[in-house]
Chains A and B, each alone.
Chain A
Amino acid sequence: AQSVTQLGSHVSVSERALVLLRCNYSSSVPPYLFWYVQYPNQGLQLLLKYTSAATLVKGINGFEAEFKKSETSFHLTKPSAHMSDAAEYFCAVYSGTYKYIFGTGTRLKVLA
């Protein structure tokens, strides 16, 4: 069965510092992986997706993620944090049976 694990339920970074949010996956087949962002009182919004076309995936708002099969990881990064990046981020894997399986989320705090 597919699953994802997000390390760190809370991450704090300074404004303009590197953002790194960790996600490891478990899948018996080549996975389709996603990152979603959730702002307060809003639904989830797709940031980026990995579908095996390229291992480095670029998303919206300057975020990117790299698929590393050897490490079973799909970490989310952004070179320079902005105050508006403060939100909760969810990693998800497509289960292959029309379902997405979500991680428990990482709340990002950006310090001025």
Chain B
Amino acid sequence: GAGVSQTPSNKVTEKGKYVELRCDPISGHTALYWYRQSLGQGPEFLIYFQGTGAADDSGLPNDRFFAVRPEGSVSTLKIQRTERGDSAVYLCASSLRGAGEDSPLHFGNGTRLTVT
């Protein structure tokens, strides 16, 4: 079946602009995660949704970052007033339930964001 889909695959924007990154999880997966992967680093947790609500947003670096999942399926990560330090690959993952030993994460291919 279809996996996790992320669009766009690449996004180049100018410093100070607003961007939206979209994630379409696997159908039926209630849990959705956003991670950020900087060059040479492992994925860093940003936010976790269970259904429509953000169960844990402790990884969002500051208030320029915001994510929504209004209908419990597709999610959008929004970044305001982008900075060069926001350049990274943004990964979305979904799982059948919350993460646990029997509900591993399924990742999309990521969106590579470059802020010039």
A residues with a Cβ closer than 8 A to B are 9, 32, 34, 36, 41-46, 49, 51-52, 90, 92, 94, 97-105
In the complex, what distance in Å separates the CA atom of A46 from the CA atom of B106? 8
Chain A residue with minimal CB distance to B101? A51
Indicate if the CB atoms of B109 and A43 lie closer than 8 Å.
yes
Indicate if the CB atoms of A99 and B107 lie closer than 8 Å.
no
Contact partner of A99 (CB less than 8 A), chosen from B41, B45, B109, is B45
Indicate if the CB atoms of B104 and A46 lie closer than 8 Å.
yes
Given contacts A43-B91, A43-B110, A99-B56, contact A105 B99 (CB under 8 A): no
B residues with a Cβ closer than 8 A to A are 4, 31, 33, 35, 40-45, 48, 50, 55-56, 59, 91, 93, 98-102, 104-110
Indicate if the CB atoms of A104 and B42 lie closer than 8 Å.
yes
A-B residue pairs in contact (CB < 8 Å), sample of 15:
A32-B101, A43-B4, A45-B107, A49-B101, A94-B100, A94-B101, A98-B55, A98-B98, A99-B45, A99-B48, A99-B99, A100-B105, A102-B42, A103-B42, A105-B42
Q: Please indicate the chain B residues that have their CB under 8 angstroms from the CB of A98 in the complex.
A: 31, 48, 50, 55-56, 98-100
In the complex, what distance in Å separates the CA atom of A41 from the CA atom of B89? 10
> Closest CB of chain B to A92's CB: distance in Å?
8
> Closest CB of chain A to B38's CB: distance in Å?
10
> Closest CB of chain B to A1's CB: distance in Å?
12
Q: A43-B91, A99-B45 are in contact. List 4 more A-B contacts (CB 8 A).
A: A32-B100, A41-B109, A44-B43, A94-B101
Chain A residue with minimal CB distance to B6? A43
Chain B residue with minimal CB distance to A6? B42
| Chain A to chain B: the 7 pairs with minimum beta-carbon distance, closest first | A43-B107, A102-B42, A51-B101, A32-B101, A44-B107, A98-B98, A43-B109
Q: Please indicate the chain A residues that have their CB under 8 angstroms from the CB of B105 in the complex.
A: 44, 46, 100
